[in-house]
Amino acid sequence: MSTPADTQTTSASSGQRPAWLVWFHRMGSPRWFYESTGRWLPVMAVIAGLLLVTGIFWGLAFAPPDYQQGNSARIMYIHVPSSILAQSSYMIMASFGVVFLVWRMKLADIGLAAAAPIGASVTFLALATGAIWGIPTWGTYWMWDARLTSTLILFFLFIGVIALRGAYGHSEAGGRATAWLAIVGVVNIPIIKYSVDWWNSLHQPSTFTLTEKPAMPPEMYLPLLVMVLGFYLLFFVLLFLRMRVGVLQAERRSRWVGDLVREQ
């Protein structure tokens, strides 16, 4: 039998838990995630749409042309955000893999499976826009440059995770296999980032960074920043939508999903 002193001690110790830890444990609940994201998503989608529309019009219609590349450089308002997000989306996917392997959170496995197709699409967009940009800049769609080649490998890593997941289905073994593949593939991320510094590369250095002074005027940098923020927010909107579908599939036999279906 617990005494009042025991109860007070337990309450005190639980009250000292940091807010991030409480949030982390809540994120392990598929029901909490589904209900919470249902409230966040409409606002996130509206803000993402506003950022992307603003950034596109600002960058394509009002930002000045590049002094060397002219108007052809305007494709950077799509290429640069997609390139940055391609690497970040892989890191997010690999983080889901770490959480699943360490804490066995079902939601992390769902997140990994949901992030892979989005990351693959963003990486393909980065490769496609880079190829279009390469024609006026390099005179060719493709060169086996270090940055381009490592980004192509990133795309194949996403495809590999999708294919491996499809081969295993929704089994726990499939979750572990895809988690390990995602984690191992992280070694490619620093190669992409520092390839222009480690090897002789035709690809220009990083255009967008938060740690250094921008190498372009504010008239070009600010719409690019807006597009980057819009791309990231759109990624999380799509990720949460896909995860919500995955939660319903995984929890379809639970009572709360049954109640949700009956309410519809």
pLDDT digits (tens, 9 = 90+) for 88-104: 999 999 999 999 999 99
Contact (CB, 8 A) for 84 and 211: no
pTM of the model: 0.89
**Separation between Cα atoms, residue 159 and residue 185, nearest integer Å:** 12
- The pLDDT tens digits for 41-62 are 999 999 999 999 999 999 999 9
- Is residue 11 domain-resident? no
- Is residue 13 domain-resident? no
* Mean per-residue pLDDT over the chain, rounded: 88
- Is residue 123 domain-resident? yes
Q: How many domains does the chain have?
A: 1
Q: Which stretch of DSSP H or E encloses residue 240?
A: helix 218-250
- Is residue 104 domain-resident? yes
**Separation between Cα atoms, residue 107 and residue 113, nearest integer Å:** 10
- Is residue 243 domain-resident? yes
CA-closest candidate to residue 75, choices 141, 14, 5, 132: 132
- Is residue 77 domain-resident? yes
CA-closest candidate to residue 251, choices 2, 25, 35: 35
CATH number at residue 83: 1.20.120
**9-23, 31-45, 212-226, range with greatest mean pLDDT:** 31-45
| Domain hosting residue 95, numbered range | 40-263
- Is residue 199 domain-resident? yes
**Separation between Cα atoms, residue 214 and residue 216, nearest integer Å:** 5
Residue 187 in this model has a pLDDT that exceeds 90: yes
- Is residue 34 domain-resident? no
Question: b/e per residue, 22-38, with b = 16+ CB within 10 A?
Answer: eeeeebeebeebbeebe
